Amino acid sequence: MHTLMMNVNGSDVHVEIYPDETLAEVLRDRLGLIGTKVACGEGECGACTVLIDGVAVTSCITPAMKAHGRRVVTIEGLTEDTELHVIQQAFVDATASQCGYCTPGFIMATKALLDANPNPTRDEIMHGISGNLCRCTGYYQIVDAVALAAKRLAEEERS
């Protein structure tokens, strides 16, 4: 067993883990943060996307110890109290979720994208979410949601 110390969603955590555990396993199974989904288990679909020090990673293939001493943000970390984050609300308002299984990964990829590029073009949005797959529908509503979130975040910034 190894001791993993990291900051998750603003709280310092210490957890004993096996050396071969993935970050997704630790987040879901040990910390109860089940908003991070595991679909393909191969880092191909992006459903398990979380942020490590602001960078989007596929947590299903990321060894948990890679997060040692770092800041991890999951979908649960975006919500303040009971209020949805602007990105989450934009996904709701743009009806960008079908079954919703991929949605946390898309939202975390969107967070990383908009933190790096607050005013992306539609092509930049497509590129920014390209590591995430939705098996239910096309991507028009998802791209619309990202653009809506960018617009709302810019409005918040100005006010």
pLDDT in tens, 91-100: 999 999 888 8
14 pLDDT more than 80: yes
Identify the residue with better confidence: 137 or 159: 159
Instruction: Report the interhelical angle of 86-93 vs 140-158 (nearest 10°).
Output: 140
The sheet with strand 71-73 has its strands ordered as 11-17, 2-8, 71-73, 49-52, 55-58
- Per-residue model confidence (pLDDT) at position 83: 92
Q: Residues 6 or more apart from 89 whose CB is under 8 A from it?
A: 149, 152
Number of alpha carbons in the 13 Å side-chain half-sphere of residue 107 = 27
67 burial via Cβ count (<10 Å: 0-12, 13-18, 19+): buried
Evaluate if residue 153 carries a pLDDT over 90.
yes
Q: What is the torsion angle, in degrees rounded to the nearest 10, for the CA atoms of residue 135, residue 103, residue 145 and residue 108?
A: -130
Cα separation, 46 vs 48, whole angstroms: 5
What residue type is 22 in one-letter code? T
Whole-number pLDDT of residue 151: 98
pTM as predicted: 0.95
